[in-house]
Amino acid sequence: MAARRRRPSAAAGRRVAAVYLVGREQAREIDRVATERFGVPSIVLMENAARNAADVALEMLGDPPGAALVFCGPGNNGGDGLAMARHLSNAGVTVGVALSTSPVGLRGDARVQFEIARAMRLPTARATPGGVAAVVRRLGSRPALVVDALL
């Protein structure tokens, strides 16, 4: 099996003019305008957020990348985390996912992302002490990166 190569950061070789930081309510308003006014499906927003977060995580993990453990909640942040875990896995990172709820409790786009992660056979477990320990064992080493996608 050929080794997977990390993809370069989307910003590699480009100057970023500005970075805007927004609060929770501002982010929700931006998402609302994107979906309602411009018709951007929420799953597309989730994919873009996850892909960009994965790019930042890849830079943090270094080369070769260490393992990553992603804690996911039942809502959109959890969906972002599940999609991010998938992007990290596709880039060659060993990834585990700890869910704060049973998969039945996942809603909307988060449920879609969980089904994709399950089809990819990403290691997932409930975020209980035993569940997290089991996921870490499957990683083969302590995670070099822990992602909070709970709330």
Lowest mean pLDDT among 37-41, 55-59, 131-135: 131-135
> 129 pLDDT band (50/70/90 cuts)?
confident
86-121 pLDDT per residue, tens: 999 999 999 999 999 999 989 899 999 999 999 999
Domain map (residue ranges) of the chain: 42-149
Helix (H) or strand (E) holding 138: helix 129-139
Is the CATH code 3.40.50.300 the one for domain 42-149?
Answer: no
Q: Please check whether residue 50 is in contact with residue 87, taking contact to mean a CB–CB distance below 8 angstroms.
A: yes
